[in-house]
Amino acid sequence: MFKGFKNIGETIKKFTSIITAIEMFGSLIVGVVVMFSSDDGILLGLLIIVIGPLVSYVNGLVMTGFGELINRIISIDKKVSEILNKSNPNNSTPDFCYVKTTPDNNKTFNNEEK
């Protein structure tokens, strides 16, 4: 299987850095081409040169944040699993996970009072 799937958060962050750089460079090239393609394109070309990299940067921030979020969720999951394994070595389901039905068919957790 593809090696990047084992650490998907880091893969997303690396891929985002590459894509952001390509988008920024591409918007600069497109802006210059638009500027010199016609006399009316100067303002539009300048807008593309200024706004294009900014949009790419913001997109990169969002995607890098998403990759970091995945890394932290994986870390939290590992820590919770370690805690559960230490407190429950025989892997039985804790009592608070069971749902009981009351006489009037309302479902409640074991630790709730009706």
In a domain, 44, yes or no: yes
Q: Within 13 Å of residue 6, how many CA atoms lie on the same side as its CB?
A: 3
Parent domain of 41: 3-109
In a domain, 19, yes or no: yes
Question: What pTM did the predictor assign?
Answer: 0.67
Question: Residue 30 contacts by C-beta under 8 Å, 6 or more apart in sequence?
Answer: 48, 52
CA distance 89 to 76: 19
In a domain, 114, yes or no: no
For the cut 90, the answer to whether the pLDDT of residue 16 exceeds it is yes
Domains contained in the chain, number:
1
Which string of DSSP letters, residue by residue, matches 32-92? HHHHHH-TTHHHHHHHHHHHHHHHHHHHHHHHHHHHHHHHHHHHHHHHHHHHHHHH-TT-P
pLDDT in tens, 59-93: 999 999 999 999 999 999 999 888 877 876 676 66
Pair 56, 30: CB distance under 8 Å:
no
